[in-house]
Copies of this chain bind each other. A is one copy, B any other.
Amino acid sequence: MLDVKTVDAGLLQSRYRLTKQRAAVLRALGDGTHLSAETILERVRAEMPGVSLGTIYRTLDILREIGLVQVFSFGGIAARYEATLEKHHHMLCTDCRSLVNVRIDALGEIARAIASHEGYSEIDFAMTIVGRCAGCTKRAVTAAT
């Protein structure tokens, strides 16, 4: 989890302030990963009622901008937010929609080689593996019997 110092430093470097709402969003993100804006709102409201969804989105966008949170969005599913500094990829279950982080170190080299070959600059890349997780696979097999 991100500590307050890192966050504060990040915000201050830009012109942003560390308000109660923003701190609450970070706290909400802290102990869980891959939360939707809606879920984050619920968590934040638990300790600070009256916070609006708009503020959640605005905060998440700032945090993404300064690099403290990463966003995962994939066809039609509401975006999921995660407070982390580590580059990683995702594995998504098509049944239960659970999301798991995976590190795939080999990708960086591959992606950069392809991108620079095509003249692309300021590269980022994201790999998403889509399938049926172990739990859902077992459930599906059992149900079929």
Chain A residues within CB distance 8 Å of chain B: 71, 73-76, 79, 91, 93-94, 100, 102, 104, 106-107, 110-111, 114-115, 118-134, 137
Q: How far is the CB of A123 from chain B (nearest CB, A)?
A: 4
A137 contacts across to B, CB distance below 8 A: 119-122
Question: Can you offer 16 A-B residue contacts whose CB atoms are under 8 A?
Answer: A73-B74, A74-B74, A91-B114, A104-B114, A107-B127, A111-B127, A115-B131, A120-B131, A120-B133, A122-B131, A123-B130, A125-B128, A125-B129, A126-B127, A126-B130, A127-B128
Q: How far is the CB of A65 from chain B (nearest CB, A)?
A: 14
Closest to A141 in B: B121
A71 contacts across to B, CB distance below 8 A: 75
Is the beta-carbon distance between B115 and A123 smaller than 8 angstroms? no
- Copies of the protein in its oligomer: 2
Say which residue of B79, B114, B133, B134 sits within 8 Å of A102 (CB atoms): B114
Is the beta-carbon distance between A79 and B75 smaller than 8 angstroms? yes
Say which residue of B107, B121, B129, B134 sits within 8 Å of A132 (CB atoms): B121
